[in-house]
Chains A and B, each alone.
Chain A
């Protein structure tokens, strides 16, 4: 990659991103995808790809992170959605074709898709 252009782009990006960082970390949405061997074999990378594409398409700015195996391998791909002030919800067997509905229902309308839920954790606050 052309180095100078890259560094310039990054500095600009840093300035823009820093402005909304605090707000985002406190009120933002976090999506967590399981990426252990079990998750990868079940298609978690494709599920993550579908999530990134859907967020891009709908212009939703959410944090996406990956984690290792949590021991619920049979329900992989596992996707957790965490929003400030709400319980963290774990969805199981999330295939790429389920992602648009998940994003639409949970992130946009604020409804939990009950039939795909495999667990939930109380709010962190």
Chain B
């Protein structure tokens, strides 16, 4: 995939498929140490230790529609190409944590890409799921928790066109601020 945000979307969708109601997405860009770390934790039904070990094999999947699952193996390959690695921690009923690290400046590292649309795709999911998104670029930080937003909205869904428009603008502004050079 051309953007890391597409791999992230894929893992987030896996979490939703696993019945997660809350997902924590943390992106840390430490430019001094030259590390990019992406951590995705969900409270879905998790995997057995054996399955978690084998899930990086492209011929292992929970899908019933076909017998290959390429999502995680592709993400792992992207990390390994950039002096990083992908780690999966999971336990049945305890959820799953996927951690991917990259050398930030590596020439083969794909850009993060359109994180705003990745987040919108999950926020607009037909299954009700909350996303807590934290993103740091050195000392700058952006955070958004849809659970807090949902609380304020009461019965109005996140997919309401007006709420959607508002969320899009909050994400665009927050992500733009992260990229702004320090004064």
A40 to B3, CA, bound (A): 11
Q: Contacting A65 at CB < 8 Å: which of B9, B126, B170?
A: B126
Query: Are A40 and B16 touching (Cβ within 8 A)?
Result: no
**Hey, which bits of chain B sit against chain A, CB under 8 A?**
1, 6, 9-10, 13-14, 16-17, 63, 65-66, 69-71, 114, 117-118, 120-122, 124-126, 142-144, 149, 152-156, 159-166, 168, 170, 173-174
State the 6 A-B residue pairs at the shortest beta-carbon distance, nearest first. Answer: A10-B152, A61-B161, A71-B65, A17-B156, A65-B126, A37-B71
A70 to B55, CA, bound (A): 21
User: Taking CB as reference atom, which chain A residue is nearest B152?
Assistant: A10
User: Do A18 and B9 form a contact, CB below 8 Å, given A55-B161, A68-B16?
Assistant: no
Q: For residue B135, give the distance in angstroms from its CB to the closest CB of chain A.
A: 12
Chain A interface size range? 35 or more
| B-chain residues with CB within 8 Å of residue A49 when the two chains form the complex | 114, 117
Query: Are B174 and A64 touching (Cβ within 8 A)?
Result: no
| B-chain residues with CB within 8 Å of residue A27 when the two chains form the complex | none
Interface 9-residue window, one of A1-9, A99-107, A117-125:
A1-9
